[in-house]
Structure 1
Amino acid sequence: MCRPITLTRALRMDDYLIIAIVLMALGAGLLGAEILVPTGGFLVVGALVFFALAVGIILYQGTTIEAVVAIGGLAVGLPAAGFVAVAAWRRMSLDNVLNEVPTDSPIGVVPEANALKGRAGKTVSPLRPSGSVEFDGKRVDAMTEGMMLDAGVWVRCVDVKRGQVIVRAMESQPDVSEVERADAALPAQSKASAPANEEPHKDETQKEEPKRPRDDFDDFDIGLDKI
């Protein structure tokens, strides 16, 4: 005769499912944390450990069907969640830098951006990894090589790719002469850009006075002082 399954026994049979779901949730949380705060893959390894423990518990305590459902859910859910997370991260953090080619901006032209190579500047907004950097009083949309920087950090432009300024944090504060180097070059550029054949402006209000007849006699020396 079959013994009836009591409520206490049923709850104990479902405990492993609750534990497995909690482990999967922890693994998903670690993946989300890895996207927001890159750690070089350490959180990804922890997430995989949680997922493996969840599947192992289901295989040990549950049935084969439950294990297949759990593995299938992970195989479909993880790529979908990763795609959605990466798309949201690119939209919020990078401000569509990876999706759009830089257009007209105060310093969006490639020749002007290339002039910033090797120059020192200071972050105006947090770079996560993109943001605003000030070079000689001009705000420039810049991007790090993957690192997160706070506002007020001295950086150096190391490269310009497709009009996008790439910066790297400096270990020490630059010299004042290095920061103001571009300001001293601006007057020379303005002089070089001025037309060479430009004539000086002549004030039309200054007119030549008419010559009087008496002036001719003043200029004519008849030599009376020698008599």
Structure 2
Amino acid sequence: MQNLTALLLSLSILLATSHASVQDFCVADLTLPAGPAGYSCKSAANVTAADFVFTGLRKGGNTTNIISAAVTPAFDAQYPGLNGLGLSIARLDLAPGGVVPFHTHPGASELLLVVQGTLVGGFVSSFSNQVYVKKLVKGDLMVFPQGLLHFQINGGGTTTVAFASFGSANPGLQITDFALFANNLPSVLVEKTTFLDDAQVKKLKSVLGGSG
């Protein structure tokens, strides 16, 4: 009986503590740096309706670049009201021939919805390097599991628009090509780790802004 009483008391304290820690929201205070758990909360007295609205996805991004594509994120850094809520979204605009190269989101899975045009999406599994590729048309969805290398390509003749939702307010992004060739890692090390020759590595570094 004594043990049961102690257990019930512990549970009541735990539940009371958990309830006390719940808040409706934690709008990001962008004047402070983000930590592993996200941004600190803005003072409730300074929160406005504008913190919960984002208008940056109304227009397409500029696709005049090396990949003929634009990704417009609505993550916690751009959309403070998402902070701590475990979700976010981005707009993808791909001109004809445009590509979002192999990349990963270490913090979340991605669910992609095509709303205009067509694209080919694919990802590579980590346990067998199995490739999953599919052509998507307007209205189609494709999921890209967290942390796996994936890509999107517009092989059609018109601009493609898609929206990618994520299970994190900050899913993170690392584009493989830029990670390899847009840095100052000595070319000899890049060559050893990629099996590319010196001329190929230096050409890619030149195109993507790397050095070394």
What range is the shorter-chain TM-score in?
under 0.3
User: Would you tell me which structure has more helix in proportion to its own residues?
Assistant: 1
User: Would you tell me which structure has more strand in proportion to its own residues?
Assistant: 2
Structure 2 length as normaliser, TM-score?
0.21
Structure 1 length as normaliser, TM-score?
0.20
